[in-house]
A and B are shown apart, each in its own frame.
Chain A
Amino acid sequence: MTEYNLPDNNGRYGKFGGKYVPETLITPLEELEKVYLEAKSDPEFIKELNALNKEYTGRPTPLTFAERLTKHYGKGKIYLKREDLCHTGAHKINNALGQILLAKRLGKKRIIAETGAGQHGVATATVCAKFGLECHVYMGEVDIERQKPNVFRMRLLGAEVIPVSSGSKTLKDATNEAIRDWVANVGNTHYIIGSVMGPHPYPMLVRDFQSIIGIETKAQILEAEGRLPDYAIACVGGGSNAMGMFYPFLNDSVKKIGVEAAGLGLDTDKNCATLTLGQEGIFQGMKTYLLQDEFGQVLEVYSISAGLDYPGVGPEHSYLKDSQQVKYVSIDDKQALAATALLSKLEGIIPALESAHAIAYLESLAPTTTKDDIIIVNVSGRGDKDLQTIMNNLG
């Protein structure tokens, strides 16, 4: 098997990816790529990021053996990668820290970001507070309503939260507004994209900053079990926690499973299972699978989980789907809620609704395994932010 080595020089993963952006953004994207490639091989940069990951975020995060969950299914040996224990409560901080260091190198004083669930917004507001940079977070009005604690958290951290009222008023529209802001303010502004999406080099650099998840997992499972896992599972919205988990295993025989949100069901129009139901499209700077109508208009999508509620997906996932290196499945709202309750009761871990989609896939997977099969599920974030939603649905 040839070593996995994407993206290519044009920022493509097979036919996906690229730089489908207005001309204004080409120069800043080239600058960002140059600065990133320099930083990546600069020992000082690596040292600073490692120190922040350790002393600020609290890395490495544990790999927890889920004893009662394992017993519950009676098959498979289930481990949880605990990104919920990161400072700010989700994996998003891994990328935000990497990018704030790049912003410093770029000499940019103003930071913008988009957010869906608010986890990336909180992570960005956090690193901006730590480094003393001005922070503006675009967030859809629907998401502001369903993720109130995170909105307050961002404001407390000194960020301005800008409500977005266009389109479906969710992550997609927040991203449009952030890109428009960047087009107008490229001179002094760095855009911290929160997932492995958008134009090159973002999908690559976000993946690289998140791949600490998989790198740690690999070392931890080798220590615990003396071998690699049989399965690695992660949820996919834009797909950053999944890329972070999968990327270090791409050259290994580990079976990788990405779990999308089926919302109210794949047979309804209330879902966001992009890789399952989407078609090739060009959207927000990238060529990727996209949920769209017959005229190429992007569909308004839905999931109970604000972090998965996105009609596109990172271009590398589109490539990994077509090349069959990762299997993509979907889980609906009800299954995700049930998994939230299950993990809370059996393991004392309240997962984010996003992460609950990955947990929920154990219902299908575990019965097909043997008791020696090692399964790792990435718990990408904690569920505190979702308590209101969970109460409304389970309470």
Chain B
Amino acid sequence: MANISNYIDKINSKGEKALSVFLTSGFPQKENFVDLACSVFDAGADILEIGFPFSDPLADGPVIQNSSHLAIQNGINLKTTLEYAEKIKAKNDKPIILMGYANPILKYGIKKFAQDAISAGVDGIIIPDIPINEYEEFYDSSFDPLDIILLITPTTNGKRITEIDNISRGFVYCVSVSGTTGVRNFAQNANNDFLANAYSLIKKNKTMIGFGISTPEDVKKFSPYCDGVIVGSAVIKTLFEEQKNYANTLKLISSLKQACKSA
């Protein structure tokens, strides 16, 4: 289908980088989550990643751990997340990606999940604890209409980057640092050699960089090595700080999109 890939390509052809924003499903409030998601799109997000919560999020730092924990306490699960996706999709045709860990999907039923995600209008999925080693064991043909987005990290060697690029659909998620999700200082952590090498090796897919992007300056520093950026913890952190309206969060997103345009 290559929905997401074509979509990013259109953005790139305008001389812009794509901006993907991560929200934890049903966070901070489950009642107005659909409105928040639509506002995030309006503020400049090109792609929305909705994280369905898991009790033991291994790849996440404290910020997303806390939002996932609250979401679970608020009764959010894979089913409610699929319902959100369907409602958001009804108001907006930009791509929606579901992101989360394998166990809630296994429990939901792998085939049933694929079918329900497709009928909800979901475009892609990211499951960080299904590396290519477990790809064939986990996914089956029912996932064909969905983009299965795979990750690379600074420990992924060149041969494996090519292998992952060949299997991934939609884009390759390039993790900028070895570590969990979270806000960090770009200058101290990012490995430019890895990013440059990865970007040159990824030929089949678009490259989106995530982990550690929180400011317009970060976007500019990463933009030579990617077709777009993913921001997660910085958004969740701002949502934690805001009590009622989401003015600061939306302001952050539009400033990041501005940086994507001039990158």
A interface list, Cβ under 8 A from B = 10, 18-28, 166-167, 172, 176, 179-180, 183-187, 279-285, 290, 292, 294-298
Contacts and interface: CB of A to CB of B under 8 A. Distances in A.
22 contacts: A18-B137, A21-B131, A22-B128, A22-B129, A23-B128, A23-B150, A23-B151, A24-B154, A24-B155, A24-B175, A27-B156, A167-B56, A183-B59, A183-B178, A183-B179, A183-B180, A187-B178, A282-B103, A295-B78, A295-B107, A296-B108, A298-B55
Interface in B124-164: 128-131, 133-134, 137, 150-157, 160, 164
A26 B137 CA distance: 16
Given A23-B175, A26-B160, 12 more contacts: A10-B133, A22-B128, A22-B131, A282-B103, A282-B106, A283-B56, A290-B103, A295-B78, A295-B104, A296-B54, A296-B107, A297-B54
A294 B152 CA distance: 31
A167 B54 CA distance: 11
Contacts of B164: 23
Contact of B178 (A176, A186, A295): A186
Nearest to A182: B178
A115 B128 CA distance: 25
Given A20-B102, A24-B178, A297 B55 contact: yes
Interface centre among B72, B102, B155 (most CB of A within 10 A): B155
Interface in B70-113: 72, 77-79, 101-108
A114 to B, nearest CB: 13
A23 B107 contact: no
A167 B55 contact: yes
B155 A21 contact: no
B65 interface: yes
B58 interface: yes
B61 interface: yes
Given A281-B107, A282-B106, A295-B104, A184 B137 contact: no
Closest 3 CB pairs of A and B: A296-B107, A296-B104, A184-B179
Interface of B: 53-56, 58-59, 61, 65, 69, 72, 77-79, 101-108, 128-131, 133-134, 137, 150-157, 160, 164, 175, 178-180
A21 B130 CA distance: 7
Contact of A21 (B58, B72, B78, B157): B58
Nearest to A173: B56
Contacts of A10: 133
Contacts of B77: 295, 297
A20 B78 CA distance: 20
Contacts of B137: 18
Contact of A20 (B54, B129, B152, B160): B129
Nearest to B107: A296
A42 B152 CA distance: 34
Interface centre among B56, B150, B154 (most CB of A within 10 A): B56
A26 B133 contact: yes
Contact of B104 (A184, A285, A297): A297
A21 B77 CA distance: 22
A279 B103 CA distance: 11
A289 to B, nearest CB: 12
A281 B106 contact: yes
Nearest to A280: B106
A40 B101 CA distance: 34
A289 B53 CA distance: 20
Given A22-B58, A167-B55, A184 B72 contact: no
